[in-house]
Structure 1
Amino acid sequence: MDERAQHWLYALSAPMVALNPGASYTAPDFYADRRVNLVDGWGIHNRAELLDMLRMADNGHASQLAAAYWQWQRCLPSQWQTLLASLAPRERILHQYASRTAGECGPGGIRAWDLGRMSFLLRCARGNAWIDLDESLWLHSCLAVRARHYYNSWSTYVAGFFIGRAFWNCLGNSDEQVGHELERQGSYLGNLGIMRELGLDPAVPFAELPWDLPLARPDKPVSLEEFNWS
């Protein structure tokens, strides 16, 4: 795989780079000069636990809003209102959140939140010597297939990531508080600053990497033959 295609794969974790000063947008490793502690916060101690965590690309936080985005895309206005009236208060708030944000992220919803973090984990694992470059590229290519299925541009992908991050920030709130906290996320200075960096930092590779850049999928490494993923 040529260098430009590799940079495209690593760009899946660009929002995580913006969240972590000193990280690289284009290197195979997330940090060039140090290992990353994935025990605190992630509970990942080794390669086996890392590979198991990658399942979150399909069953992570996005699964909690997937039905809301799917129904918003397909319901007539009257059907949507009927659906909202039938839901418990928290589910109603989350469905309304999906309806307000679908215009930014599209039907993919917040899948990018899970995909971007899995790319981050792969790049950290590469720096921690848990996976080699060939394994990283193949696993990243699996993430790329998913990203291109759910999104049609870097802008919708990045929007999906930050909308997902806002949702994640509010998971611990009560039913009474969650709606208010979701409303506040749109003006949260931390999110605004990170999005501004992604738009203005010349190191961010989006402008040089078209969303539809041809990506030749590498062969699955023999070392991953028992890892049932595609």
Structure 2
Amino acid sequence: MYTGIKEFDLSSSWGINNRDDLIQTIYQMTDDGHANDLAGLYLTWHRSSPEEWKALIAGGSERGLIYTQFVAQTAMCCGEGGIKAWDYVRMGFLSRVGVLNNWLTEEESLWLQSRVYVRAHHYYHSWMHYFSAYSLGRLYWQSSQCEDNTSLREALTLYKYDSAGSRMFEELAAGSDRFYATLPWQPLTVQPECPVTLKDVSDL
């Protein structure tokens, strides 16, 4: 995807300007990213009876109800992990771009990605499961740009991606080199050791 690119600008889209910014973003957003907004609802949906769920969402705001309906419609697809895959995929992206930008070594990137994968494998049971949760997470992320409840409901009910999202998924579906489909979805046989240079985030 980034063949020929020597450096990827993360300042405008992420506010990341150096190695420290990158590492702290990965450290914080792996477990505290956008998915946390709905994490409690996904977990509650899976652990509540229909009556308990109905009582939970009663009396909420219209915007809140739109989001709870989105959770109810997608919970079976995502599982208890909800849309955490959206954050995990992006942290994997940052780990790889860190190498491209000469902010991370291959060893450091591998360790960071291994910590993300442990979480992904815990919550999702296949690449397709992971991809489904990621795609729904992308939908939720873009919904923050909806200015009114009508457009929000339309986006989340019709699974209506913006132009960038539509283009991205079209390219993914059309790609002939779907590497994820050829790799086994299984626990890591060997967990990489945390490099000394990442000791400050060794509890990731």
TM-score of the two chains, using structure 1 as the length reference: 0.80
1:33 alignment counterpart: 5
When the two chains are superposed, the root-mean-square deviation of aligned CA atoms in Å is 2.0
| Counterpart residue type for residue 109 of structure 1 | G
2:98 alignment counterpart: 125
Sort the Cα spacing of 1:37 and 1:222 in 2 relative to 1 into closer, same or farther, 3 A: same
Unaligned runs of 5+ in 2: none
Between stretches 36-45 and 219-228, larger displacement belongs to: 219-228
Trace 1:104-143 onto structure 2 (pairs within 5 A). Answer: 104-143=77-116
Which of 61, 83, 86 is residue 88 of structure 1 equivalent to? 61
1:48 alignment counterpart: 20
Identity level (%): 35
CA contact (8 A) 1:89 1:175 kept: no
Cα distance in 1 for residues equivalent to 2:104 and 2:188: 25
Trace 1:149-164 onto structure 2 (pairs within 5 A). Answer: 149-164=122-137
Give the CA deviation at 1:200.
5.0
Give the CA deviation at 1:37.
0.3
1:183 alignment counterpart: 157
Cα distance in 2 for residues equivalent to 1:76 and 1:69: 13
Give the CA deviation at 1:183.
2.2
CA contact (8 A) 1:126 1:133 kept: yes
Give the CA deviation at 1:158.
0.5
Between stretches 43-52 and 212-221, larger displacement belongs to: 212-221
**Does residue 102 of the first structure (1) align with residue 75 of the second (2)?**
yes
1:77 alignment counterpart: 50
Cα distance in 2 for residues equivalent to 1:45 and 1:80: 43
CA contact (8 A) 1:68 1:94 kept: no
Trace 1:63-74 onto structure 2 (pairs within 5 A). Answer: 63-74=36-47
Between stretches 186-195 and 67-76, larger displacement belongs to: 186-195
Between stretches 149-158 and 188-197, larger displacement belongs to: 188-197
Higher relative contact order (CA 8 A, sep 6+): 1
1:170 alignment counterpart: 143
Unaligned runs of 5+ in 1: 1-21, 24-30
Sort the Cα spacing of 1:175 and 1:68 in 2 relative to 1 into closer, same or farther, 3 A: farther
Give the CA deviation at 1:103.
2.1
Cα distance in 1 for residues equivalent to 2:7 and 2:164: 25
Give the CA deviation at 1:187.
6.6
**Does residue 62 of the first structure (1) align with residue 35 of the second (2)?**
yes
CA contact (8 A) 2:127 2:181 kept: no
| Counterpart residue type for residue 163 of structure 1 | L
Between stretches 169-178 and 77-86, larger displacement belongs to: 169-178
Give the CA deviation at 1:212.
1.1
TM-score of the two chains, using structure 2 as the length reference: 0.89
| Counterpart residue type for residue 210 of structure 1 | P
Cα distance in 2 for residues equivalent to 1:214 and 1:227: 20
How many residue pairs end up in the alignment?
A: 202
Say which SS state the counterpart of residue 65 (structure 1) adopts: helix
Give the CA deviation at 1:206.
2.0
Say which SS state the counterpart of residue 185 (structure 1) adopts: coil
Cα distance in 2 for residues equivalent to 1:32 and 1:212: 32
Cα distance in 2 for residues equivalent to 1:96 and 1:137: 37
